[in-house]
Amino acid sequence: MATKKYLEIQEFNDQELFSELNETEKQYQKLRFDHAVKGIDNPLLLRDMRRDIARLNTEIRRREISNMSEVELAGRSKTRARRKKK
């Protein structure tokens, strides 16, 4: 079942997606610095922000793959098959 955050991210257009990723990464860096210097009340916020960043990156990559041409997808499949052999 899709999470509420994932459904919300899917509604963003590409520009909003990149700006949200940039903003979230900045907030994460600031929160990490604050946690290292003086500590924060809820360190689980760091984990949640990392997961939000991963969700955003995943959606960006999913859109890139969906916009690939047939030739690019065939090349990607060959690369993935070669990696599985190892």
| pLDDT band (50, 70, 90) for residue 1 | low
Comparing 78 with 19, the larger pLDDT belongs to 19
Tokens for 25, please give them: 């990464």
Q: What percent of the chain has pLDDT over 70?
A: 97
Q: How far apart are CA 41 and CA 34, in angstroms?
A: 11
Tokens for 61, please give them: 């990559």
Residue pLDDT, tens place only, 37-58: 999 899 899 999 999 999 999 9
Instruction: Decide which of 1.10.287, 3.40.50, 3.30.1330, 2.60.120 is the CATH code for 4-85.
Output: 1.10.287
Q: Taking residues 59-74, what's their average pLDDT?
A: 89
Q: Phi and psi dihedrals of 35, rounded to 5?
A: -65, -40
pLDDT confidence of residue 73: 81
CA neighbor of 56 nearest in space, from 10, 3, 2, 66:
10
CA neighbor of 50 nearest in space, from 23, 30, 24:
24
Residue with tokens 């079942």: 1
Domain positions in the chain are: 4-85
Q: What is the mean pLDDT of the chain?
A: 89
